[in-house]
Chain A
Amino acid sequence: MSGGTLGPPPVNSAAVAASAQGRQVGEGHPRKDHLLVARMVEPGSRVLDVGCGDGLLLALLRQRRSVDGRGIELSREGVSHSLARGLAVIQGDADTDLVDYPDDSFDYVILSQTLQATRQPRVVLEHMLRIGRRAIVSFPNFGHWRVRYEIGVRGRMPVTENLPQPWYDTPNIHFCTIRDFVRLCRELGVQIEQAHALGASGDPVRVNLPWWVWNLFGQQGIFLLRRG
Chain B
Amino acid sequence: MNEHSFRGPAPTHRSEADEPTSPVQRFAASEALVLDAGIALGPWQIAYQTYGELNPDRSNAVLVCHALTGDQHVANIHPVTGKPGWWETLVGPGRPIDTERFFVICANVVGGCMGTTGPASGNPDSGRPWALDFPVVTIRDMVRAQKMLIDRLGIPSLFCVVGGSMGGMQVLQWAASYPDRVFAAMPIATGARHSAQNIAFHEVGRQAVMADPDWRRGRYLDEGVRPRKGLAVARMGAHITYLSEGALHRKFGRTLQDRDAPTFTFDADFQIESYLRYQGISFVERFDPNSYLYVTRAMDYFDLSADYGGTLANAFRGSPTRFCVISFTSDWLFPTRDSRAIVHALNAGGAQVGFVEIESDKGHDAFLLEEPEMFAAARGFLDAAASARGIA
Contacts and interface: CB of A to CB of B under 8 A. Distances in A.
B359 interface: yes
A88 B383 CA distance: 14
7 contacts: A79-B354, A80-B356, A84-B379, A86-B384, A88-B353, A90-B325, A90-B353
Given A91-B357, A100-B344, A84 B352 contact: no
Given A76-B359, A80-B377, A86 B343 contact: no
A82 B354 contact: yes
Contacts of B356: 76, 79-80, 83, 90-91
Interface residues on B, range: 20 to 34
Interface of B: 322, 324-325, 343-344, 347-348, 352-359, 373, 376-377, 379-381, 383-385, 387-388
Across the A-B interface, the 7 shortest Cβ-Cβ residue pairs: A84-B380, A86-B384, A90-B355, A88-B352, A83-B380, A79-B356, A83-B381
Interface in A73-111: 76, 79-92, 100-102
Interface of A: 70, 76, 79-92, 100-102
B344 A83 contact: no
A89 B355 CA distance: 6
B358 A83 contact: no
A86 B355 contact: no
A102 B311 CA distance: 14
Contacts of A70: 347, 352
A83 B348 contact: no
Contact of B373 (A76, A85, A87, A102): A76
Contacts of B385: 86
A88 B322 contact: yes
B348 A87 contact: no
Given A80-B377, A102-B348, A87 B358 contact: no
Nearest to B355: A90
Given A70-B347, A86-B384, A86-B387, A80 B352 contact: no
A83 B354 CA distance: 7
Contacts of A88: 322, 352-354
B355 A80 contact: no
Nearest to A75: B356
A92 B383 CA distance: 23
A76 to B, nearest CB: 6
Contacts of A76: 356-359, 373
A70 B379 CA distance: 19
Name the residue in A70, A81, A83 with the highest tally of chain B Cβ atoms < 10 Å from its Cβ: A83
A14 to B, nearest CB: 14
Nearest to A72: B355
Given A70-B347, A84-B380, 12 more contacts: A80-B377, A82-B354, A83-B384, A85-B380, A85-B384, A86-B384, A87-B384, A88-B322, A90-B325, A90-B353, A91-B356, A100-B344
B366 to A, nearest CB: 14
Nearest to B325: A90
B380 A80 contact: yes
A196 to B, nearest CB: 30
A79 B348 contact: no
Give the most central of B356, B376, B380: most A CB within 10 Å.
B356
Contacts of A101: 347
A84 B347 contact: no
A83 B377 contact: yes
A79 B327 CA distance: 13
A81 B384 CA distance: 11
A50 to B, nearest CB: 13
